[in-house]
């Protein structure tokens, strides 16, 4: 009786130990950076090759791997199940990464954007022309060769245009810019046509906007507020500006009954350290009621909530799918151990200890999991890297972005695969190790 209870306690402790091990393993895995994989694999390889137990484990693993073709069906469950999880996870995270990257590329620390106090986005902001002058004339604003400040009062308005894919109206951002805008965004390059002529109703269209919307090809005319506008060029900015239409500030205002007010002022600072003093100077001026941010901070803020949402969604979907895949892997590996009962018992009878048996089953599962992870990551990369999609940005307009399957995301997918392999392999491995040799040998 007493010994029975003792055994039960020992078993309970054993289970707790296993779970603690799984938990620690997952924790360590979650924190590993990508470069550490070879560093960890090296001691494992040395152990497998150089020690006696290691060599036993290696030969047991080889037997296990050699029998995989006989149970192709159940092994492919492990691979495909894990590939599915990793594929969906990587694709969703690539969407978040792509959106964040597209917005962030538009920002840096040397330019600052001024909005009306309290306005979170340009669409919500109104800035009078006096304010535009005041914030541009500060000493922290860099001057161009002509001695005038490099600052652009800009007016963001919204137009509804039909999308190419659905034919439904969607919002596109029309940005009226001052002539200094080109100096503030040196990355912008005309692909075809020319820049708009100040004072005329001419538009240039961003690369992504032209792909998304119909009727904005170079040479076409579109009506904004009843007036015809000519599209004279297409530009490429490689950031969120690619989703815009640009025109002259002085012409957009009257068209949209906005007079000469702006929605934002973007200024070039003398250097990145000037931001603090610039912000302090604007705050100290009683004539101004404005908020100022570096463009980097502004664009990061704009991408934050959507990026967080998609990442959380991706992780949640990943966890639920992973639960399903782990149970599938457990099923397959328990079955694999069951079909190899006699073989494993024979190994034990020959003098193999339990460690090599555990290691061999674990190694086999991890290899299958890694294969699944690589398959899933590869499919996600092939299908979704640079895949373009669009969503509503902070200005209630379409922002086009490309999915980015980055190396970090691929590594994260592989880590998930290894974690699933760890759980899916450990319990069947322990069963294999605990198997009674005599019963196992008698198994048909």
Partner 1 sequence: MKYLQLVLAALQRHKARTLFTLLSVAAAFLLFGLLDSVRGAFSGAGSTVAGLNRLVTVSRISFTLQLPKSLLERIRAVPGVADVTYANWFGGIYQDQKNFFPNQAVAGNFIDAYPEWKLSAAEREAFRNTRTGAIAGALLANKFHWKLGDKIPLQGTIFPQKNGSNTWTLDLVGIYRIADPQQRGQENALFFNWDYFDEARAFGNGNVGWYVVRVADAKNADRVAQAIDALSADSDHETKTQSEHAFQLAFVSQFGDIGLIVGAIMAAVFFTLILLTGNTMAQAVRERIPELAILKTIGFTSSSVLGLLLAEAVLLLLLGGIVGVLVAGVVANGLQLSMGITLPPIVSSVAVWLRALGLMIVIGIIVGAMPAYRGLRLRVVDALAGR
Binding characters for partner 1, 168-187, by CB under 8 A (x = yes): xxxx----------------
| Residue 15 makes contact with partner 1 by CB under 8 A | no
Q: Are 144 and 216 in contact (CB under 8 A)?
A: no
**Whose Cβ is closer to partner 1: residue 123's or residue 347's?**
123
* Interface with partner 1, residue 324, by CB under 8 A: yes
Which residues have CB under 8 Å from 262's CB, separation 6+? 126, 127, 128, 129, 132, 153, 154, 155, 249
Task: Tell me how far apart the alpha carbons of residues 364 and 382 are, in angstroms, rounded to a whole number.
Answer: 27
Using the rule CB under 8 A, which residue among 4, 43, 73, 186 binds partner 1?
73
Query: CB of residue 101 vs partner 1: minimum separation in angstroms?
Result: 17
Q: Which is nearer to partner 1, 392 or 437 (CB)?
A: 392
- Which one, of 385, 434, 421, 439, lies nearest residue 101 by Cα? 385
Give the C-alpha separation, 71 to 424, whole Å. 17
Residue 414 corresponds to which tokens in the numbers above?
């592989």
Token pair of 294 as six digits? 């570096």
> Which part of the chain contacts partner 1 (CB under 8 A), choosing from 133-141, 236-244, 270-278, 322-330?
322-330
Q: Quick check: 166 binds partner 1 (CB under 8 A)?
A: yes
Told to check if 263 binds partner 1 by CB under 8 A, we report no
Strands 290-294 and 202-206: unpaired
Q: Which of residues 343-382 bind partner 1 (CB under 8 A)?
A: none
Is the CB of 182 or the CB of 396 nearer to partner 1?
396
Is 26 an interacting residue with respect to partner 1 (CB under 8 A)?
Answer: no
**Helices 52-66/354-384 angle, 10° precision:** 50
Nearer CB in complex with partner 1: 110/154: 154
Total residues in contact with partner 1, by rule CB under 8 A: 54
Write down the least CB distance from residue 391 to partner 1, Å. 4
Among 7, 36, 70, 120, binds partner 1 (CB under 8 A): 120
Binding mask 37-66 for partner 1 (x = CB under 8 A): ------------------------------
Closest CA to 426 of 348, 376, 369, 352: 369
- Residue 296 Cβ vs partner 1, minimum distance, rounded to whole Å: 19
Q: Does 421 bind partner 1 (CB under 8 A)?
A: no
Any idea what the Cα angle at residue 48 is, between residues 44 and 53, rounded to 5°? 120
Specify the residue, 43 or 73, whose C-beta has the smaller distance to partner 1: 73
Q: Which is nearer to partner 1, 140 or 398 (CB)?
A: 398
Q: How far apart are CA 258 and CA 214, in angstroms?
A: 26
**Treating both helix axes as pointing N-terminal to C-terminal, what angle do 52-66 and 36-50 enclose, rounded to 10 degrees?**
100
Burial 84-98 (b: 16+ CB within 10 A, else e): bbbbbbbbbbbbbbb
Q: Write out the residues near partner 1 by the rule CB under 8 A.
A: 73-74, 76-77, 80-81, 84-85, 87-88, 91, 116-121, 123-124, 126, 157-160, 166, 168-171, 224-226, 256-257, 289, 317, 320-321, 323-325, 327-328, 330-332, 334-335, 389-392, 396, 398
């Amino acid at each position: 009786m007493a010994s029975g209870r003792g055994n039960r306690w020992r078993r309970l402790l054993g289970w707790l130990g296993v779970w603690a091990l799984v938990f620690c393993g997952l924790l360590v895995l979650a924190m590993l950076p990508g470069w550490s994989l070879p560093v960890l694999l090296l001691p494992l390889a040395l152990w497998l090759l150089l020690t006696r137990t290691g060599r036993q484990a290696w030969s047991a693993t080889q037997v296990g791997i050699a029998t995989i073709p006989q149970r192709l069906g159940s092994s492919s469950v492990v691979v495909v199940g894990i590939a599915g999880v990793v594929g969906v996870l990587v694709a969703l995270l690539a969407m978040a990464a792509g959106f964040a990257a597209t917005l962030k590329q538009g920002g840096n620390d040397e330019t600052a954007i001024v909005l009306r106090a309290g306005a979170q986005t340009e669409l919500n902001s109104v800035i009078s022309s006096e304010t535009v002058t005041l914030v541009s004339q500060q000493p922290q604003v860099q001057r161009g060769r002509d001695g005038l400040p490099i600052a652009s009062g800009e007016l963001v308005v919204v137009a509804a245009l039909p999308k190419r894919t659905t034919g439904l109206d969607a919002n596109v951002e029309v940005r009226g810019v001052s002539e200094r805008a080109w100096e503030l965004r040196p990355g912008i390059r005309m692909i075809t046509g020319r820049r708009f002529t100040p004072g005329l109703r001419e538009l240039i269209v961003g690369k992504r906007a032209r792909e998304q919307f119909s009727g904005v090809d170079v040479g076409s005319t579109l009506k904004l507020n009843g007036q015809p506008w000519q599209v004279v060029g297409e530009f490429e900015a490689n950031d969120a500006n690619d989703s815009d239409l640009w025109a002259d500030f002085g012409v957009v205002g009257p068209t949209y009954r906005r007079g000469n007010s702006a929605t934002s002022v973007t200024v070039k600072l003398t250097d990145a350290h000037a931001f603090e003093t610039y912000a302090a100077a604007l705050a100290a001026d009683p004539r101004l009621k404005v908020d100022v941010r570096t463009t980097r901070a502004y664009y990061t803020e704009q991408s934050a909530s959507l990026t967080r949402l998609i990442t959380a969604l991706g992780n949640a979907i990943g966890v639920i799918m992973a639960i399903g895949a782990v149970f599938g892997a457990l099923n397959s590996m328990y079955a694999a151990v069951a079909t190899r009962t006699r073989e494993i018992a024979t190994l034990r009878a020959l003098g193999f200890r339990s460690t090599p048996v555990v290691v061999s089953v674990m190694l086999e599962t991890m290899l299958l999991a890694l294969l699944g992870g690589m398959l899933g990551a590869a499919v996600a990369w092939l299908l979704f890297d640079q895949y373009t999609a669009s969503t509503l940005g902070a200005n209630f307009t379409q922002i086009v972005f490309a999915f980015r399957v980055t190396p970090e995301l691929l590594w994260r997918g592989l880590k998930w695969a290894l974690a699933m392999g760890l759980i899916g392999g450990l319990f069947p491995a322990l069963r294999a190790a605990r198997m009674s040799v005599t019963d196992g040998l008698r198994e048909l």
